Amino acid sequence: MRIWSLLEGPVINLLMGSVLAYAAFSLLGEYRKRFMANPKAAMSAEVLMLAITSSGGPGYLAAFLLAGSVLCFLLAAFTLLFNLSSYFGVLH
């Protein structure tokens, strides 16, 4: 049971990051349309940013949710690494 108390925070952060990423990508339907129309042209960050800014409010919300999901994934990785290293005695 002790190991679950160490993994609970990272698992919750991973789930929250996944939910935020899912919500963000579901808002980016315009990017999918552009990608299907011309896959080579749409494989760039510039086209993704154009899709975000041209779609107005939902695009800005999607960018905010993507940033939040990246933050959740980074926090989960850090806490998982820290918790497991303290569990195995690397950190005292």
Give pLDDT tens digits along the chain (92 positions): 577 777 888 888 889 889 988 888 887 776 677 677 777 765 667 766 776 777 677 778 888 888 889 999 999 899 888 888 888 888 65
In whole angstroms, what separates CA 5 from the centre of its chain? 23
pLDDT score of 8: 84
In whole angstroms, what separates CA 67 from the centre of its chain? 7
Query: Is-contact 51 59, C-beta < 8 A?
Result: yes
Q: How many CB atoms lie within 10 A of CB 42?
A: 18
> Is this structure's pTM higher than 0.95?
no
Q: What is the DSSP letter of 88?
A: T
